[in-house]
Amino acid sequence: MKLKGTLLAAVLLLVLIHLQISEAIWFPWYFHRYGLEPHSARHKGAGGGGGSVTAPAAPSGKQTMPAGGAKDKNKGGPTCPPGYELKDPKSVREAGSATRICDDNPVLMQLARLYVVSPERIVLLLAQPSLVDSCAEIRDVLANIHAATSKCVLTPDNIYGKLSDGLDYFKEVVCEGDCEGSSRKRFAGLLEAQNCIREMRTDMIECEAPPDWYETRNKSKLCQIYNDVLDCYYTRAAMLCGIESAKQLRSFAADSMGRAMNQKCEVSKKLPRVDNAMPSMATSSSPMGMAIFTLVLIVIFC
């Protein structure tokens, strides 16, 4: 009997050694009342994890505490040692609802209306026959996307969410009515060359990268393809619309495509050499003609 008591004491000592201090000071009392029953099992009735568990009879004639857990939830109660307070199931549900992940299918369906299936297809919207009609549809698409994601969130790396960001930038630069906006001023030359850009539709499609290129996790490869597309835009635009329009198209494409990608890429500062570039609109037209053309553009877009 004495040997048995010694062995039991040794086992308890080994258990106490592996417990944290806040847990260890509770263990002898807890073991004396409830035996080796897991603490989490005693809260099944209160936490909704199943039926209530009846605690084993307390030795030494002491009354067993209720299996439902502590009376005072804030203080933990006599049956909840420090670190074992249960969370209110209601608060867990409310916390989870604030970060509910959106179903991205509605976003995909809206982008499909504009055939925006890649970052390049955002840039291709510049070549639409009527920017006025395109902008009206773009606004409607973005409004529907914002409505579909108003009570949930898309994951930061969601492809369709990133394409929506790029489309939103397109709307800000091309479609917004504020002619004094900084972005619109920056790309004024690009909008002036709209007739020429419209003729580049086939060339811009030929500049597009292979499908799903923007989904690769290889950043070096991704950024190389990204800059290749930008250089292709520049070269084709320089030959058809002039160097200045080509620079603005390349810059706009870099901004809009960059917002539609999960990884940030540095835009190469080295421009491709174009020997047979088209003379710019400013040098090929008379000052009077340019003034009239600019006035017409202001009336149309502003």
> pLDDT band for position 61 (50/70/90)?
very low
Residue with more model confidence, 283 or 198: 198
Judged against a pLDDT cut of 70, whether residue 98 lies above it is answered with no
Res 40 pLDDT > 90: no
Q: What is the largest CA-CA distance in the chain?
A: 115
What separation in angstroms does the CA of 284 have from each of 84, 183, 230, 274? 80, 26, 26, 18
> Using one digit for the tens of pLDDT, what is the confidence trace for 113-129?
999 999 999 999 999 99
Neighbours of 198 (CB within 10 A): 14
Asked whether the beta carbons of 151 and 100 are under 8 A apart, the reply is yes
* Among the ranges given (108-122, 164-178, 197-211), the one the predictor scored with the smallest mean pLDDT: 164-178
Residues in the chain: 302
pLDDT winner (highest mean) among 46-55, 275-284, 285-294: 275-284
Tens-digit pLDDT profile for residues 221-235: 999 999 999 999 999
Instruction: Calculate mean pLDDT across residues 17-29.
Output: 48
Q: What does the pLDDT average to over 99-120?
A: 94
Distance CA 272, CA 232 (A): 9
Tell me if residue 101 falls in helix, strand or coil. Answer: strand
List beta partners, residue 153: 101
> Strand pairing partners for 101?
153
The mean of the pLDDT values for the chain is 74
Per domain, the residue ranges of the chain are: 2-85, 105-301
* pLDDT recorded at residue 182: 60
pLDDT level of residue 249 (50, 70, 90 thresholds): very high
pLDDT band at 184 (very low <50, low <70, confident <90, very high): low
Q: Which tops the pLDDT comparison, 17 or 166?
A: 166
| pLDDT at 6 (0 to 100) | 72
220: confidence class by pLDDT, cuts 50, 70, 90: very high
CB neighbour class for 167 (10 Å; exposed up to 12, middle 13-18, buried from 19) = buried
pLDDT of amino acid 64: 47
163: three-class secondary structure by DSSP: helix
